[in-house]
Structure 1
Amino acid sequence: MADTQTANNTAAAAYKSHSPLVEALLRLHKNHTALAGLVIVAIFAILAIFGHWIAPHDPLEQSLYTKLKPPFWMPKAADGYLLGTDDFGRDLLSRIIYGARISMLVGVVSVSISLIIGTVSGAIAGFYKGWVDIVIMRIMDILLAIPSILLAIVIVAFLGPSLQNAMIAIGVVSIPRYARIVRGSVLEEYSKDYVQAARALGASDTRLIFMHILPNCLAPLIVQTTLGFASAILEAAALSFLGLGAQPPTPEWGAMLAGGRALILRAWWVVTFPGVMILLAVLGFNLLGDGLRDALDPRLRD
């Protein structure tokens, strides 16, 4: 009995001795919803990386002989086209797979823009306070006062319709989210003893911000970055649907929805499958982001 109690105490002590990162991973492993989101995100990542080998056809190859063929389980389906074809005879499955690559690229580029600029501006505002904080945060308040999709439309209209400009617009409209999170975290960390100790040892402002304070603000940034991917994919699809993002014949999910909206009664599969992919991608990143938020919350640590 004593040996069993000792073993339990040892196991508990071992668990307690884990680093915060390991503890967060253990909590994430127990969150089945977050794991489901991770699986969905991993599938899309695989499609994006290996889509060239996975796709059965060229996504831009057209054929009038296979125009608007239904999925394989329906009558009059064409062999070799599992999800059917669009009004140009292009393989819908191949276009959806290549669309995953574009959507993941949009997420990476736009989130990187907003993350870098938002983190730097928020850190400067929270560290220096005063008029610097007022100027930066009032700019962020102005950006937040405008609906994000409307601001993105204005930016793309000014720069010109293209996928690259859509990624820039999505990145710009998301900057305030990161700036506010980082500013709040920096304000909280600034008064702690380790910052004052580093300052007393002669650390420069740049070193204090980027080497001491920001590493302790990573948890909320990781969560926001994950959720930012979902927002970026959804906003890119919306811009492409409006004709301001990816231009035909680019196999982007929003552009595919726009191209097939006139066929919704004749060929439902042309708009249904791209819409389902957008839903799954956004759902996967949101589930993963919610799970990371629970796993990285220090209030949940034993």
Structure 2
Amino acid sequence: MNRSQFKRNLRDNPYLLAGMIITGLVLLMIIVGLFWTPYDTTAMNSSEKLQGISLRHIMGTDNMGRDVFSRVMYGSRITLLIAIGTVFIGAGLGTIIGAVTGYFGGMLDEVVMRVVDALFAFPSILLALVIVSVFGTGWIQLLISLGIAFMPSFARIVRGEVLRCKNMDYVENARLQGVSNLRMIFVHILPNIKGVLASSILIGFNNAVLAEAGLSYLGVGSQPPYASLGKMLSDAQQYMFTTPSYVLCPGIVIVLMVLGFAFLGEGISRWK
């Protein structure tokens, strides 16, 4: 695809363009936050508690006098890292399970997919809560729990695509050439479903951000001193009417993250 065709496809795909812009802005804030924040994210100032938006504090301050913008920059990083880890574990395990069961079929497919279906029957947040109750609270435990909870959806998607592709001509030709089963799966079949897989991964990011925010809001995710966006919302809820910026600012960033990944996923699915 040449540059002019790429620009034309991008211009005709507003979802992808909007997703790139929104996600780029959020990522820019996170990257800047790696090297600089206006204030120390843990520095408390009792004389500046619950201040509204101002030139000094562009997102106001929290109930301990900490700068909300600095904590949003830091919290966005934690939320994104958990989302990335969740999708990495869920998509990795799900892709392997779905590809192997879909390709080989038979009793292996019946047994493994019944287990996957049983896990899939549980809402991901509820399943993650059960797993967290076993492993304990914390962002690492949350990451592992959400990764396991997200695995069934990826397994079902990949299995369906492998079932669709495994009897196609290019697979039959490779089989006649004596290509091994593992090479067939990971070199010939999976690269040909990369579009569906990429779209599913972006939707997974979307869901992972929401799941992390929800579980941290409930107090089973990130713990102090880590300031994820969900934890910030939980801390701010009782000040919703007295200092609305304390609640709105991390909430808006969560919405932007979710919208950005949703638009990217939709844009990729529409890419010509």
Under a length normalisation based on structure 1, what TM-score does the superposition of the two structures give? 0.86
* Post-superposition offset of 1:249: 3.1
Match of 2:151 among 170, 175, 199: 175
Instruction: Give, as a single letter, the amino acid of the residue that structure 2 aligns with 1:53.
Output: F
* Post-superposition offset of 1:82: 1.3
Q: Which residue of 2 aligns with 1:91?
A: 67
Match of 1:128 among 104, 129, 152: 104
Counterparts of 1:25 and 1:133 in 2: how far apart (Å)?
43
Counterparts of 1:157 and 1:103 in 2: how far apart (Å)?
20
2:185 corresponds to 1:203: no
Q: Which residue of 2 aligns with 1:58?
A: 40
* Post-superposition offset of 1:170: 1.2
Instruction: Give, as a single letter, the amino acid of the residue that structure 1 aligns with 2:56.
Output: G
1:268-300, CA deviations, whole angstroms, 9 ceiling, x for partnerless residues? Answer: 1111111111111101111111111111xxxxx
1:22-68, CA deviations, whole angstroms, 9 ceiling, x for partnerless residues? Answer: 97775344212321111111112222222133421111111111111
Q: Which residue of 2 aligns with 1:10?
A: none
1:167-224, CA deviations, whole angstroms, 9 ceiling, x for partnerless residues? Answer: 1111111111111111111111111122122122111111111111111111100000
Counterparts of 2:166 and 2:263 in 1: how far apart (Å)?
32
Q: Which residue of 1 aligns with 2:20?
A: 38
Please list every run of at least 4 consecutive aligned residues from structure 1 whose deviation after the TM superposition is greater than 4 angstroms. Answer: 22-26
Match of 1:81 among 52, 57, 65: 57
Counterparts of 2:11 and 2:99 in 1: how far apart (Å)?
32
For the residue of structure 1 that corresponds to 2:270, the secondary structure is: helix
1:66-101, CA deviations, whole angstroms, 9 ceiling, x for partnerless residues? Answer: 1111111xxxxxx62111100100000001111121
Q: Which residue of 2 aligns with 1:159?
A: 135
The structure with higher relative contact order (CA 8 Å, sep 6+) is 2
Q: Which residue of 2 aligns with 1:191?
A: 167
For the residue of structure 2 that corresponds to 1:119, the secondary structure is: helix
Counterparts of 1:263 and 1:237 in 2: how far apart (Å)?
18
Instruction: Give, as a single letter, the amino acid of the residue that structure 1 aligns with 2:236.
Output: G
How many residues are paired up? 272
Q: CA RMSD in A?
A: 1.8
2:29 corresponds to 1:47: yes
Under a length normalisation based on structure 2, what TM-score does the superposition of the two structures give? 0.95
Counterparts of 1:156 and 1:30 in 2: how far apart (Å)?
44
**Kept in 2: contact 1:47–1:54 (CA 8 A):** no
1:234-290, CA deviations, whole angstroms, 9 ceiling, x for partnerless residues? Answer: 100001000000012322111001111111122111111111111111011111111
For the residue of structure 2 that corresponds to 1:174, the secondary structure is: helix
Counterparts of 1:98 and 1:161 in 2: how far apart (Å)?
20
**Kept in 2: contact 1:257–1:274 (CA 8 A):** yes
Counterparts of 2:193 and 2:69 in 1: how far apart (Å)?
41
Higher-Rg structure is 1
Where does structure 1 lack aligned partners over 5 or more consecutive residues? Answer: 1-17, 73-78, 296-300
Alignment of 1:207-218 (within 5 A): 207-218=183-194
Alignment of 1:1-302 (within 5 A): 18=1, 26-72=8-54, 80-295=56-271
**Kept in 1: contact 2:26–2:256 (CA 8 A):** no
Where does structure 2 lack aligned partners over 5 or more consecutive residues? Answer: none
